[in-house]
Amino acid sequence: MSKVRVRYAPSPTGLLHIGNARSALFNYLYARHYKGDFIVRIEDTDTKRNVEGGEQSQLELLQWLGIDIDESPVHGGSFGPYRQLERLSLYQKYSEDLLTRGLAYKEDNGAIRFKVPKNTVYQFDDMVRGTLSFDSKEVEDWIMVKENGIPTYNFAVAIDDYHMQISHVMRGEEHITNTPKQLMVYEAFGWTPPTFGHMTIIVNEQKKKLSKRDENVIQFISEYKKLGYLPEAMFNFIALLGWSPPVEKEILSKEQFFEYFDGSRFVKAPSMFDRDKLKFINSRYIKKLDLETLKEKVKPYLEEAHINIISDEWLTQLVTVFQERMHYLQEIVELYHEFFNGRFVLDNEMLVFLKENNSLSLIEAFRSHIKAIEFTPEHIKQAIKDISVQLGVKGKPLYMGLRIATTAETHGPSLPDMLALLSKNTVIDRLTHTIDRLRGDL
């Protein structure tokens, strides 16, 4: 295989969304697997739709995702310029050549149309779908240069891909019908076309094609960044949308993706955007963070919610308690309010458990013990041990009994960490409430 050179070619008309991010990521992974080059080229010829900051936003979010760019308008390179509006003289040269050879013609308004050859079949081997073919009679003569002198997509993209020595073009399936027009341009100039691969659509959980108007799914990478999804998790999740690894794992490192992504395992069926799967993957990455890193990451969310960070020790306890529960960083605000401001309610199932295990004496003893201790996780842990020995209670009756009596939950993070965070007075009040409920039901 000659050197792999692939490109992601967005228009600066908006923010980076899931579909475009997948196109960029698949091209990037393919390039890295084969030690090739990943190029970002800006297709800015639709001047009416271009938005200020669109190009910068695309590049910054690709970088945030962990996609390293070899060539771009910012990174430079030997095949520039990397913006189409800076390449107009090149397109003009080729359009004049086609006009001279009678392969294109001008209309009265100055636009130039490509003359589609008759009785010709355009066939190519798609990396995802196998052999695809189109008859030229299905395509009418198409505009290759608009009346304002700016080339249309199919004309410019073929010229750019040739001049930038692009070896493989991987993009969404909506581009399949564009491919024959681009093959016509390659044929007209005697160029060898790149290898094409058209990725299947991404669908929502109702199996409908994901669209920018779908309000059930967050579309833009910037929104996930804002919510506190980690870039490594987004990278991992998006890489599995239309490609399957050769191992039975969902959590893969960047290096593993580089190793496995050889282009042989594209999925032909539509890829479902599973929000729960994304949350799960992100939670796994959050769990891997060391406490100091996680503390720094959640601070801005707590401050924005006007939650007073009492001390660094308090923040450490908070993060210790919630790290296992967080699916995304902003969720710590919701967990905080639920933890400190939620109602303490013992349901019937919890009361039955306490009664069946004769937990009243356990809870009374624990209340008595903690009144006299310094209320730290270490001292609380020791108090639990002392009561276990004193009463001969251990295992589930001990730990679940105290957890229910203090948190109204049957499972969760380390109990001593949770109780220290709640404060001694709150815990004593809850124990007293539980004792009153049990005595009242006797």
* Token duo for residue 9: 């070619």
Residue 321 CB neighbours (<10 A): 24
- What is the rounded distance in angstroms from the CA atom of residue 342 to the CA atom of residue 307? 15
Q: Please enumerate in sequence order all residues whose Cβ is within 8 A of that of 353, keeping only pairs 6 or more positions apart, or say none.
A: 359, 400, 401, 404, 410
| CA dihedral over 126, 130, 136, 137, signed as positive or negative | negative
- What is the rounded distance in angstroms from the CA atom of residue 340 to the CA atom of residue 371? 20
Instruction: Assess whether 212 carries a catalytic annotation.
Output: yes
Residue 123 CB neighbours (<10 A): 10
Q: Is-contact 41 10, C-beta < 8 A? A: no
DSSP-assigned states of every residue in 32-88: HHTT-EEEE-B----TTT--TTHHHHHHHHHHHHT---SBBTTTB-TT---BGGGGH
3-state secondary structure of 230: coil
- What is the rounded distance in angstroms from the CA atom of residue 387 to the CA atom of residue 394? 9
What separation, in Å, do the N-terminal and C-terminal C-alpha atoms of the chain show?
Answer: 80
- What is the rounded distance in angstroms from the CA atom of residue 149 to the CA atom of residue 87? 12
Which of these is catalytic: 3, 106, 208, 212?
212
3-state secondary structure of 96: helix
DSSP-assigned states of every residue in 230-265: -HHHHHHHHHTSSB--SSS-S---HHHHHHH-SSS-
Picking from 135, 96, 93, the residue whose alpha carbon sits closest to that of residue 116 is 135
Which amino acids are annotated catalytic? 212
